Chain A
Amino acid sequence: MKPLTTEQIRAVIARGKLKDNIFKVMGIFCLSLALVVIVALIADMVIKGSERFTVDFFLNFASRHANKAGILSAWVGSLLVMFVTALAAVPLGVAAGLYLEEYAKRNWITNIIEINISNLAAVPSIVYGLLALGIFVYQFGFGQSILSAGLTLALLILPIIIVSTREAIRAIPAMIREGSMAVGATRWQTCRYHIIPYAMPGILTGVIIGLARAIGETAPIITIGALTFIAFLPPAPFSELGDGGTAGLFDWVMAPFTVMPIQIFNWTSRPDPAFEVNAAAAGFVLMAMVLSMNAVAIYLRYKMRKNIKW
């Protein structure tokens, strides 16, 4: 074959670059499509709900009058449910992921467990709701409480946390593990001093992704029977109760509740169009909650990763 002339080389490059550019344009188009959709969605909610962005909206309970209705019980409920969810799902998920990566022997039982964790992540959330209705609400007698809701959502996001924990652990090079074991550390010492701290940024990302998913879940919460109209807050620890007694530290977990998505769902299903304004405003608040959770996750991950280099 004769070597290419300079002209021919340039022609080849030009052809290659044309494809480069076509792909670039397509990529930018797809990206902006996604961005436009989300920006339009948020803008729509902001514009529709703008007249409700007052302090009262955050401090009022639900009401029959759209302009007096607020999201106090909903956002408090959402936060408390998330708290229970995180408290239950994080230790369980991290421990399960750690066990599977660091301790479990590779055999067919582990393989089956692994496959089923992926399957669990794909189970429709309503099914978790049905399961929780049977187990938490009736069997354990937790009732239609924050505890039931928190545990339900914990089940829902457990696979996400397990999978992200395992991925974070797998990203730690074997030489770090070997370096620890080589000085005579046990598996647990290796996990405690190295694996868990170094996997923490990845675990945290998984936790927040899970919580962001959980905070928007409606179906399982409706299934276990969250109220749609609620005009009181769960009892704060050590506050005075109506019957003259004092609330215990954990009384609030057994209280009935509502959450943001249910409040939104409730408002959109009302005939009075004034409630749509409320729904839009509440939708924006929910969006803001999710986005700020993500922001915290990104910040923490950045801060923690800065010191972890191999």
Chain B
Amino acid sequence: MQIQETPALKAEARNLNFFYGENKALKNINMPIYDKKVTALIGPSGCGKSTYLRSFNRMHDLYPGNRYEGEIRFFPDNTNLLSADVDPIEVRMRIGMVFQKPNPFPKSIFENVAYGLRVRGENNRRVLDDKVEHALKGAAIWDEVKDRLSELASNLSGGQQQRLCIARALATDPELLLFDEPTSALDPIATGAIEELVHELKKRVTILIVTHNMQQAARVSDYTAYMFLGEMIEFGKTDEIFIKPQDKRTEDYITGRMG
């Protein structure tokens, strides 16, 4: 008999389909996201992993002609994130996102991190100072920027900018953090820093990360899902996916025969 500890669910995609106009980009995806774990989405370009990720915070709602079918259940309150009754803004207040290319606002470092709080109506300087410091520490960039919080964020290096963007997402205490290929625009050292950070962050927040770098998936994630042509081919513990994939297509991708 095998005793297996199953972590709590943070979210779960159920029969998720997604359409860009007529084009079906996600096909019947079912997948759990476990609480306080890192789940990596891998797959060749155009397989729908970013599309899937951006469904979680309803980013597709910003553009016309996009349509969801199915559900993404979000726990503990069992909200369907994709329901028409749920305001996408409410979803984005609970779920943070870090983008492929660092996208700090052309404002000061402080204002970049404080922005999410200001949007929530927080204008008390004391509270802002506190939370900004906390977020910058959480994103492991506090020591580098603490003396120049009023400087423009664009003066930071690419890796620092990306950690600043992580701090911006952390400042509002998200329950789930989405990473969309966060290191694809960074050099190996900056990438290492982000990966270390992801490892640190999973103690407090659930993480879903898209990566086209399999080593990265293997390094940072607890669970991995392999996607291909809009379908979820295989999902499992990262060790198992990388050591003994069940599906031939997953194996081909991981061993570098494809993609």
CB within 8 Å of B: which residues of A? 105-106, 173, 175-186, 189, 193-194, 198, 307-310
Q: Are B120 and A184 in touch, CB under 8 angstroms?
A: yes
7 additional A-B pairs beyond A175-B99, A193-B118, beta carbons within 8 Å, are A178-B62, A181-B62, A183-B96, A184-B93, A186-B89, A186-B119, A307-B106
Q: Which chain B positions have C-beta within 8 A of A186?
A: 89, 119
A180 touches B105 (CB 8 A): yes
Please report the C-alpha to C-alpha distance between residue A180 and residue B105 in the assembled complex, in whole angstroms.
Answer: 8
From B23-31, B78-86, B164-172, the one touching the partner chain is B164-172
A307 CA to B165 CA in the complex, in Å? 18
Check if A184 sits within 8 Å of B165, measured CB to CB: no
Measured between alpha carbons, how far is A182 from B64 in the docked complex, in Å? 17
What are 6 A-B contacts defined by CB distance under 8 Å? A175-B101, A178-B59, A179-B104, A182-B96, A307-B152, A310-B103
Pairwise interchain contact B115-A178, C-beta atoms closer than 8 A: no
Nearest A-chain residue to B118, judged by Cβ: A193
Please list the residues of chain B having a beta carbon within 8 angstroms of any beta carbon in chain A: 57, 59, 62, 64, 89-90, 92-93, 96-97, 99, 101, 103-106, 115-116, 118-120, 152, 154, 165, 168-169, 172
The 8 Å CB contact of B105, one of A105, A176, A181, A189, is A176
Give the residue name and chain of the A residue nearest to B100 (CB): A175
| Chain B residue at minimal CB-CB distance from A305 | B106
Shortest B25–chain A CB gap in Å is: 18
- Of the candidates A105, A106, A183, A307, the one whose C-beta lies within 8 Å of that of B116 is A183
Asked if A182 and B97 sit within 8 Å, CB to CB, the answer is yes
Which listed residue (B89, B104, B152) contacts A184, Cβ 8 A? B89
State A182–B97 Cα separation when bound (angstroms).
6
| CB-nearest residue of chain A to B172 | A183
CB distance from B20 to the nearest CB of A (A): 15
Q: Which residues of B contact A178 (CB under 8 A)?
A: 59, 62, 99, 103
Query: What residues of B have a CB within 8 angstroms of the CB of A189 in the complex?
Result: 119
The answer to whether A181 touches B103 (Cβ under 8 A) is no
Given the complex, which residues of B lie within 8 Å of A180, measured CB to CB? 105, 115
Beyond A106-B64, A189-B119, whether A179 also contacts B92 by CB under 8 A is: no
With A106-B64, A307-B152: A181-B59 Cβ-Cβ less than 8 Å: yes
In the complex, what residue of chain B is closest to A185 when comparing beta carbons?
A: B119
Complex alpha-carbon distance, A308 and B96, angstroms: 24
Whether A179 contacts B64 in the complex (CB less than 8 A), given A184-B92, A185-B119, A193-B115, comes out as: no
Residues in chain B near residue A183, CB distance under 8 A:
92-93, 96, 115-116, 119, 168-169, 172
